[in-house]
Structure formats: C-alpha cells, structure tokens
C-alpha cells in the first residue's frame, strides 16, 4: 500500500504541476475550464463515493449542492495554482513560452496513472474507499495477517447459496489475489465438488473468475480452468457459463490446452447426457481442443428383424 500511496502522490503532483506551468507561462483565464474539467474528472475517478451514484441522486438538492461545492473547490484550487505560477514567473523575471497543450498534457497524464494505481469503482463495490485504504483505521482486519488457506476460504463457503454475485465476485477476487491462489482454488474446488447442491452463487462466481480473458491470458493461475471444471461438476447452471467461455479461450490461446481437463474427463462429463445447447457448447470445446468425437459403433440389425413376420 505504501508504493500505491507514493504513486498516487506522484500523480497528484503531475496534476497540480500543469496549472502551475500554465501560470508560469503567463496564460490567462481561458485555460481555467480545461484544467477544472481535468481536476473534477480525476476526483470522480479516485473518489466516486463523493458523487451521486444514480441518476435520480442528481435531483437531491443536498447531493447536488455537495457536487457543486466540489466543483467550485477545484476552480479555486486551479486559480490559486495559476497565481502561484505567475508569482514565480514575476519573481524570477522570466516567463517561458510554452505551448498551451504542454501544461494540459502534464495534468492529463495524472489521470491514467491514477486509474492504473487505484480503481475507484471496483474498490467502492467492495466497500473500500481511497481514504480508508491510505489511512486504515484501528478496525480489526477481515482476516488474520497469517491466516491459513482454509481460514481464508471459509468466509466464501459460509455465503448463502443465493447471495448476490456483486457481493460474491469481489470477495472471491480478494481471496484468490494471493501467491497461494492455487492452493485456495484446490480447497474451493474440493468443497464445491463435495456439495453439488450447495454454494450456487460461489460456483457461478468461480466460473466467471476462472474464465476471465485477461486473467487467463496473463497465466497467473494455471490451475484455474481445471479447478473450475471440478467445481462445476454436472451442475447445468455452472456449465452454461463455463463451457462456451472455455471454448472461446481454447480457440484464442491454443497453446494452453494442457491447462484444460484431459479428453477422458471431458468425455466423462458428456457421458451422462447433456441437453440441447450444453451438448453444442461441449462439442465446441472438444473441437477447440482438437478432440474429435469418438466414432459411434454401428449396430447391425439381427437377421430375425429383417424377416417378415
């Protein structure tokens, strides 16, 4: 977290340096609107909880007044930075002639840097804000610092089967965002495989997590796909998510075939019979992995059946 805080401080310095350069170059108030827009956009990215989250919230006078106050604060901040820049130029007696886009580009660079360091919307979905992350309070952490993998996955297995995906997904991300994710995945797969009629929400979240294209392409957890198939078992709702997404990934990255279940396991999955679209998705996955369907044995009719009765 200390590295993230330093990167955010560097991004903030870039943001403030832009209007300072503009003031130093002697530009007038015509540069104020673009800088204020950048400052407000940057604030929305980092602290979305300070702004209305729904359209109808903009009709709330209190929320509207709060948003307007923040915009006016940014106007005042940019104006002060302009003034400081002009003051420095007046003291030194030198006003550099910079292209007007250069100060704007310096401030704009703070936006993507900050977004890479901190995803405000994703953090807000987990109930975390930037202020709490940079200055954690004395509250007890969600898990002990050196909790075992079994203790880490326990909250996931304690979730209700109909828990909302918006709650289960971020929690699963947090639990599996560790170096021993492979071990935690194995524990989750064991638990879900042993209880096929339970943990529907967690099973669905795991299907989505394991087949996320960016994560699969990064190859951070090579065991994820096999664990997902184990967790899915014969659950049709899970297979409706898993099979088409797995087939798309197999086509996109054919060199990752060893990370998928072997042919025998996939054929065993279809041995019990898959209805309609599931059968088509299963066939598509087999084709993407280069597994040809096993030839069906031809049944020769008995001689007696060919004779008239």
> What is the per-residue pLDDT across 45-102, written as a single tens digit (0 to 9) for each?
888 777 776 677 677 787 788 888 888 999 999 999 888 888 887 787 766 777 878 8
Q: Does 186 share its domain with 269?
A: yes
Q: Does 32 share its domain with 117?
A: yes
Note the pLDDT of residue 276. Answer: 85
User: Model pTM?
Assistant: 0.48
Q: Does 161 share its domain with 282?
A: yes
Q: Does 94 share its domain with 209?
A: no
Q: Model confidence over 158-203: pLDDT tens digits?
A: 888 888 888 888 888 888 887 778 888 888 889 898 888 888 889 9
Q: How many domains does the chain have?
A: 2
Q: Model confidence over 254-307: pLDDT tens digits?
A: 888 888 998 888 888 888 778 889 999 999 999 998 886 544 444 444 444 444
Whether 23 is covered by a domain: the verdict is: yes
Q: Does 122 share its domain with 191?
A: no
Whether 298 is covered by a domain: the verdict is: no
Euclidean distance between CA atoms 44 and 75, whole angstroms: 15
Q: Does 94 share its domain with 14?
A: yes
Q: Does 76 share its domain with 168?
A: no
Which of 134, 159, 189 delimits the end of a domain? 134
Euclidean distance between CA atoms 76 and 72, whole angstroms: 6
Tokens of 245: 């997404």
Structural domain boundaries enclosing 254 = 149-288
Which of 102, 134, 166 delimits the end of a domain? 134
The greatest distance separating any two alpha carbons of the chain, rounded to the nearest whole angstrom, comes to 117
Q: Supply the Cα-derived Rg of the chain in whole angstroms.
A: 28
Whether 106 is covered by a domain: the verdict is: yes
Q: Does 45 share its domain with 160?
A: no
62/156: higher pLDDT = 156
Euclidean distance between CA atoms 117 and 61, whole angstroms: 33
Q: Model confidence over 89-144: pLDDT tens digits?
A: 778 776 677 787 888 888 888 888 888 877 766 665 555 566 665 555 444 344 44
Q: What percent of the chain has pLDDT over 70?
A: 83
Q: Does 60 share its domain with 111?
A: yes
Residues contacting 98, CB < 8 A, separation 6+: 21, 24, 25
Which of 108, 134, 160 delimits the end of a domain? 134
Please classify residue 204 by burial: count the beta carbons closer than 10 Å to its beta carbon, then call 0-12 exposed, 13-18 middle and 19+ buried: buried
Query: Given pLDDT bands bounded at 50, 70 and 90, which one contains residue 243?
Result: very high
Whether 228 is covered by a domain: the verdict is: yes
Whether pLDDT at 4 is above 70: yes
Note the pLDDT of residue 293. Answer: 52
Q: Does 53 share its domain with 124?
A: yes
């Amino acid at each position: 977290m200390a590295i993230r805080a330093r990167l955010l401080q560097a991004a903030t310095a870039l943001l403030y340096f832009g209007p300072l350069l503009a003031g130093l170059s002697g530009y007038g108030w015509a540069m104020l609107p673009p800088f204020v827009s950048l400052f407000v956009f940057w604030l929305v990215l980092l602290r979305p909880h300070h702004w209305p989250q729904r359209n109808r919230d903009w009709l709330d006078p209190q929320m509207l007044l709060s948003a307007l106050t923040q915009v006016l604060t940014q106007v005042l901040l940019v104006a002060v930075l302009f003034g400081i820049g002009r003051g420095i130029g007046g003291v030194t007696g030198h006003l550099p002639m910079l292209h007007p886009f250069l100060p704007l580009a310096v401030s704009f660079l703070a936006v993507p840097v900050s977004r890479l360091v901190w995803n405000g919307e994703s953090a807000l979905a987990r109930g975390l804000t930037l202020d709490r992350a940079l200055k954690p309070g004395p509250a007890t952490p969600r898990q002990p610092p050196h909790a075992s993998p079994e203790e880490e996955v326990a909250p996931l297995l304690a979730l209700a089967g109909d828990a909302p995906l918006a709650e289960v997904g971020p929690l699963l991300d947090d639990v599996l965002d560790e170096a021993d994710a492979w071990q935690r995945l194995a524990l989750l797969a064991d638990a879900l495989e042993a209880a096929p009629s339970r943990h529907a929400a967690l099973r669905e979240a795991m299907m989505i997590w394991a087949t996320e294209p960016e994560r699969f392409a990064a190859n951070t957890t090579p065991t994820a796909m096999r664990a997902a198939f184990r967790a899915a078992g014969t659950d049709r709702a899970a297979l409706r998510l898993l099979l088409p997404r797995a087939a798309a990934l197999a086509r996109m990255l054919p060199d990752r075939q060893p990370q998928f279940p072997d042919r025998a396991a996939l054929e065993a999955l279809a041995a019990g019979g898959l209805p309609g679209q599931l059968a088509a998705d299963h066939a598509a996955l087999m084709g993407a992995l280069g597994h040809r369907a096993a030839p069906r044995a031809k049944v020769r009719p008995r001689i007696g059946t060919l004779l008239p009765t």
